[in-house]
Amino acid sequence: MHDHSTPGFLPNPFDGLDAAAAGPRGSIDPRNPIASVNYQRTREMSIDELLLENRVVFLIGEINQASAARVMMQMLYLENQKRGQDIQLYINSPGGAVDDTLAIYDTMQFISSEVATYCIGRAYSGGSVLLAAGQQGKRHILPHAKVMIHQPYGGVTGQTTDIQIQAEEIVKAKQ
């Protein structure tokens, strides 16, 4: 058991998992359901369900429409379940689409729950924006994680008016 009052302590998203779910040497196989006792009844839960129940959301991989939708839906679900209780967002992302990144950002700002952010592995480009969007004092980078920030860029083709609109959108995203 860890002392949760220790400064810089990174909460373990697996705290409270049933020891029977652990495989060899205490490893956890995410493909195997875990028995969880809840309200005097037993049901099988996946690792994803257990993490969500503990208000933990993961953004792994490229930020695109599908990954953004998943993160936003999970945050809105958690907000609806226990409004105002912290959500932990773990990020390991190379970045991705600006619009999808900003949709997650807007969701983080919209909900009343504070979002603590953790960089595990990498937070590049849009991933770094989301890492920085975490609640002040609740932004964390693991010792070997990497963060990279760069100017927004894009490639457009089409009529000059379309190119001008896209250029204005990139400048707006930069601000």
Among the listed residues 89, 107, 91, the one whose alpha carbon sits nearest the alpha carbon of residue 99: 107
Helices (DSSP H) in the chain: which residue ranges? Answer: 47-53, 65-81, 98-110, 126-132, 160-174
Among the listed residues 49, 23, 26, 55, the one whose alpha carbon sits nearest the alpha carbon of residue 36: 49
Do the beta carbons of residue 125 and residue 71 sit within 8 Å? no
**Which letter, b or e, does each residue of 143-152 get, where b requires 16 or more Cβ atoms within 10 Å of its Cβ?**
eebeeeeeeb
Beta-carbon contacts of residue 71 (< 8 Å; ≥ 6 apart): 57, 59, 89, 104, 107
Beta-carbon contacts of residue 160 (< 8 Å; ≥ 6 apart): none
Active-site residue set: 125, 150
Tokens, residue 121: 């592995």
